[in-house]
């Protein structure tokens, strides 16, 4: 934590605490308004932070967590190359056929597939790959796709919570705290499995048991040839091998003394090398260029700008002050603080972007270390923040990027998603997941 | 020279309320790839043609991600026909392309040709002030006119 005395002098001698707070609030407000692209907002916020002298350029660059940036970019490249093989469609169709194209079974299986993919890949990519197959299956079965799509939104956000790489909040938390892939799996996966099972049961009772398809329509899905979904077997083998070794790398990151960002970026480079072996220079340039265009640069630059904005308020001492207020409000009680973070993260993440929220909360929580006996004492708070921020995103249609992606794709195919209709169903189910998380955090960590 | 010099006036057109079946009939009759759609006041509303009909003939999920293959779907010609019959009575307004920008009569000729080259389809020409449909520039007829002039 840096004190205010380390700061460069601010423009017009403004109080750095006030000016950095105003910039943070204005950035949040602009992101929430969705009137201006969030990457533009974050970069503008970062620029204003420097222009006002809250940060100098060196401090701003230091504020960017390049491990998070490398991890996100590396995984985006790996997924971009892998998706060309058709493996995701293969698994979705295969799973639908395992339940004999029974609609209730498909509802269940597609949730499981989405949750598993989301745990290993980013959520938006997962739903981008799963939704078109889902729409085709539902059309062939002549059932409404809405229940399946809502269940997939939940599965994507729930599954993503289980691992370090599953959801951006976890990536930021892991990178900022040194918590490893294994730490996330050991501490979060058990409760995530329970939450996913409960959610599957809720969706079955609510929708699954009422879904019926005529035998001839089920036969049409059973006639799908999943092998035809595999478009490039060589690439499939290469991609799965690289993903296997990247995940192995995440598991062994601590003994290998490697950061996840290095592992992901190295894996991305190896996969691009394998995929381009034997191609001439021009084709390689074309393929690599295409792969790079698939990286979500809006997200990457959003992170860069956001890290700088948060770094500004951190350097100004705002987050230390907020941490002291929070500790005073909870009486320095770890249980109350953990539960407060879990619930406030969940509720706020349902209505605001959870990435800036988590980015702001991390230094705030770090400031509580002296009260709770050092960094080790903060572990319950990190797990509470992760569970709240990731699962809270299910509460409304704007709660997570994956939700908006599914809604956008569905509307292009004629299935309407309304904010209120979705929230009426989703918010109570999200609260159920937070109740389960509360019991788990209390039982396991407090 | 401008777009006006190679534009065909009084092109065949669809109304917003025209059905998909009527549109398909007119497209075949006129041997066109697409047709402009106008509202009751004659103002240009969009384009409807082969692209939209192919989209309607495909499974819905197939058209939302242009990067995925759907070779695993085993639909027959009858399935595709059935899918089209399901939307035959829907108005074209529901599916037309209303986002692609039309041409303007005073657009320079090279810009007009470049737009044809980039869009690969026949393009409507509208009055920028009133949005009234003035004509259409087709790839075939524009090439014919230019060849005659040369």
DSSP string across B27-84: HHHHT-SEEEEE-TTSBEEEEEEHHHHHHHHS-GGGGS-TT---TT----HHHHHHHH
- Residue A443 exposed, middle or buried by CB count within 10 Å (0-12, 13-18, 19+): exposed
Q: Scanning every residue of chain A, which has its alpha carbon at the shortest distance from the alpha carbon of B94?
A: A414
Q: Please say whether the beta carbons of A79 and A125 come within 8 A.
A: yes
With an 8 Å Cβ cutoff, are B60 and A223 in contact? Answer: no
User: Which residue, among B57, B73, B75, would best test binding to A if mutated, counting the most A CBs under 10 Å from its CB?
Assistant: B73
The reported pTM is: 0.84
Q: How far is CA A36 from CA A32, A41, A78, A206, in A?
A: 9, 7, 29, 38
DSSP string, A160-224: HHTSTTSSHHHHHHHHHHT--HHHHHHHHHHHHHHHHHHHHHHHHHHTGGG----HHHHHHHHT-
* The two structure tokens encoding residue B36: 């402009």
CB nearest A228 (choices: B65, B67, B71): B71
For residue A409, the model assigns a pLDDT of 87
- Rounded-to-integer distance, Cα A229 and Cα A137, Å: 14
Q: Which of A248, A307, A272 is nearest to A68 (CA)?
A: A307
Q: Does B99 touch chain A (CB under 8 A)?
A: no
Residue A110 has pLDDT above 50, yes or no: yes
Q: Which tokens sit at A359?
A: 């980015």
Tell me the per-residue pLDDT of A259-271, one tens digit each, with 9 for 90 and over: 889 999 999 999 9
Please give the residue of chain A at the shortest CA–CA distance from B58. A136
A175 to A70, A178, A352, B141: CA distances (angstroms): 11, 6, 22, 62
Say yes or no: B70 contacts chain A, CB-CB below 8 A.
yes
Contact residues on chain A for B70, CB-CB shorter than 8 A: 136
Pick the residue of A96, A136, A229, A414 with the most B CBs within 10 A to test the interface with B by mutation.
A136
Taking the C-alpha atoms of residue A5 and residue A2, their distance in angstroms, rounded to an integer, is 8
Q: At what angle do helices A379-392 and A419-445 cross, to 10 degrees?
A: 160
pLDDT band, residue A244 (cuts 50/70/90): very high
User: What is the b/e burial string over A216-254, where b = at least 16 CB atoms within 10 angstroms of the residue's CB?
Assistant: ebbebbeebebebbbbeeebbebbeebbeebbebbeebe
- What integer pLDDT is reported at residue A32 of this predicted model? 78
Q: Which of A137, A226, A409 sits opposite B64 (nearest CB)?
A: A409
The span from the CA of A342 to the CA of A326, in Å, is 13
- Predicted confidence (pLDDT) at residue A183 exceeds the cutoff of 90: yes
Residue A9 has pLDDT above 80, yes or no: no
Please check whether residue B73 touches A, CB under 8 A: yes
Chain B residues touching A409 at Cβ < 8 A: 64-65
Shortest distance between the Cα of B66 and any Cα of chain A, in A, equals 10
Touching check for B76 and chain A: CB below 8 Å? no
- The reported pLDDT for the residue numbered A4 is 43
Question: Contact B74/A131, CB-based, under 8 Å?
Answer: no
Task: Return the structure tokens found at B90.
Answer: 């829907």
Residue A2 has a pLDDT of 44
Q: What is the ipTM for the molecules in this complex?
A: 0.78
Which of B56, B62, B68, B69 is the best mutation test for A, with the most CBs of A within 10 A? B68
Which chain B residue is nearest to residue A127, measuring alpha carbons?
A: B65
Q: What is the pLDDT of residues A196-229, one digit of tens each?
A: 999 999 999 999 999 999 999 999 999 999 898 8
Query: Residues in chain B with pLDDT < 70?
Result: 148-150
- What does DSSP assign to residue B125? E
Chain A touched by B66 (CB under 8 Å): no
Give me the residues paired with residue B125 across strands: B103, B135
Given this model, what pLDDT does residue A134 score? 94
* A80, A135, A141, A293, best to mutate vs chain B, most B CBs in 10 Å: A135
CA–CA gap between residue B37 and residue B19 (Å, rounded): 11
CA distance B99 to B106: 21
At CB < 8 Å, which residues of chain A contact B?
Answer: 83-84, 86, 89, 93, 128-129, 131-137, 139-140, 220, 223-229, 231, 409, 412-414
pLDDT band at A3 (very low <50, low <70, confident <90, very high): very low
**Does the pLDDT at position A136 exceed 60?**
yes
pLDDT tens for each residue of A253-312: 888 888 889 999 999 999 999 999 989 999 999 999 999 998 889 888 988 998 899 889
Q: What is the mean pLDDT of residues A237-256?
A: 91
Q: What's the structural domain count of chain B?
A: 1
Q: Is B114 on the interface with A (CB under 8 A)?
A: no
d(CA A395, CA A159): 15
Show residues of chain B in contact with A413, CB under 8 Å: 60-61, 63-64
Instruction: Please state at what angle helix A38-51 crosses helix A297-315, rounded to 10 degrees.
Output: 30
- pLDDT of res. B27: 94
Q: What is the DSSP letter of A2?
A: -
The whole domain housing B57 covers 3-149
Contact between chains at A132 and B65 (C-beta distance less than 8 A) = yes
**Runs of H (alpha helix) within A34-166:** 38-51, 57-63, 66-82, 87-98, 103-120, 123-141, 146-161
Q: Over the stretch A123-134, which tens digit does the pLDDT of each residue have?
A: 888 898 899 999
Q: What is the CATH number of the domain that holds B35?
A: 3.10.580.10
Segment A112-119 shows an average pLDDT of 94
List of chain A residues whose C-beta atoms are within 8 Å of the C-beta of residue B59: 135-136, 139-140
Q: What is the pLDDT of residue B15?
A: 96
Share of chain B above pLDDT 70, in %: 98
Domain boundaries, given as residue ranges, for chain A: 16-63+87-229+296-445
Q: How many CB pairs under 8 A join A and B?
A: 63
Q: Which residues contact B143 (CB under 8 A, 6 or more apart)?
A: none
CA distances from A214 to A58, A183, A372 (A): 65, 46, 60
With CA atoms as reference, the chain A residue closest to B71 would be A228
Closest chain B residue to A225, measured at CA: B72
Question: Are residues A129 and B70, on separate chains, in Cβ contact within 8 Å?
Answer: no
Pairing of strands B34-38, B133-137: unpaired
């Amino acid at each position: 934590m840096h004190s205010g005395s380390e700061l460069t002098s601010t423009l017009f001698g403004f109080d750095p605490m006030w000016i950095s707070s105003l910039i943070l609030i204005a950035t949040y407000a602009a992101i929430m308004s969705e009137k201006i692209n969030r990457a533009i907002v974050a970069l503008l916020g970062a620029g204003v932070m420097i222009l006002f002298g809250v940060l100098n350029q060196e401090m701003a660059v230091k504020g960017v967590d390049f491990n998070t940036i490398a991890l996100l970019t590396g995984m985006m490249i790996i997924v971009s190359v892998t998706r060309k093989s058709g493996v995701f469609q293969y698994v979705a169709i295969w799973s639908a056929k395992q339940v004999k194209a029974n609609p209730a079974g498909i509802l269940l299986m597609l949730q499981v597939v989405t949750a598993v993919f989301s745990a290993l890949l980013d959520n938006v990519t997962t739903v981008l790959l799963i939704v078109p197959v889902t729409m085709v299956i539902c059309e062939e079965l002549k059932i409404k796709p809405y229940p399946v799509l809502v269940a997939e939104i939940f599965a994507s956000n729930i599954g993503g919570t289980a691992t370090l790489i599953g959801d951006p909040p976890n990536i930021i938390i892991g990178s900022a705290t040194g918590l490893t892939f294994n730490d996330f799996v050991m501490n979060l996966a058990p409760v995530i499995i329970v939450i996913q099972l409960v959610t599957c049961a809720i969706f079955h009772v609510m929708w699954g048991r009422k879904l019926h398809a005529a035998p001839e329509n089920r036969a049409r899905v059973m006639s799908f040839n999943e092998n035809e979904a595999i478009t490039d077997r060589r690439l499939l083998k290469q991609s799965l091998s690289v993903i296997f070794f990247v995940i192995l790398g995440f598991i062994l990151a601590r003994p290998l003394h490697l950061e996840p960002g290095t592992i992901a970026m190295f894996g991305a480079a190896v996969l691009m090398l394998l995929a381009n072996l034997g191609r001439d220079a021009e084709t390689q340039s074309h393929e690599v260029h295409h792969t790079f265009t698939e990286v979500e640069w809006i997200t990457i630059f959003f992170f860069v700008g956001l890290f700088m904005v948060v770094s500004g308020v951190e350097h100004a001492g705002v987050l230390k002050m907020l941490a002291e207020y929070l500790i005073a409000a909870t009486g320095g009680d770890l249980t109350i603080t953990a539960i407060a973070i879990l619930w406030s993260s969940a509720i706020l993440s349902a209505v605001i972007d959870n990435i800036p929220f988590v980015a702001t909360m991390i230094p705030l929580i770090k400031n509580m270390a002296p009260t709770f006996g050092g960094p080790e004492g903060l572990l319950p708070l990190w797990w509470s923040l992760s569970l709240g921020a990731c699962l809270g995103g299910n509460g409304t249609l704007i709660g997570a990027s994956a939700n908006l992606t599914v809604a956008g794709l569905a509307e292009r195919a004629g299935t309407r998603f309304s904010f209120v209709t979705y929230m009426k169903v989703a918010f109570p189910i999200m609260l159920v997941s937070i109740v389960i998380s509360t019991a788990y955090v209390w039982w396991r960590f407090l | 020279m401008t777009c006006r010099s190679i534009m065909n006036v009084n092109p065949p057109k669809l109304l917003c309320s025209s059905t998909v079946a009527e549109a398909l009939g007119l497209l075949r009759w006129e041997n066109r790839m697409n047709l402009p759609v106008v509202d009751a006041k004659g103002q240009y509303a969009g384009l409807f043609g082969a692209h939209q009909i192919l989209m309607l003939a495909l499974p819905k999920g197939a058209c939302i991600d242009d990067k995925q293959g759907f070779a695993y779907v085993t639909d027959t010609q009858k399935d595709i026909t059935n899918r089209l019959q399901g939307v035959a009575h829907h108005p074209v307004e529901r599916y037309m392309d209303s986002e692609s920008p039309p041409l303007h009569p005073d657009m320079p000729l090279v810009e007009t040709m470049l737009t044809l080259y980039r869009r690969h389809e026949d393009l409507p020409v509208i009055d920028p002030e009133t949005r009234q449909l003035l004509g259409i520039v087709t790839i075939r007829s524009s090439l014919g006119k230019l060849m005659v002039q040369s």
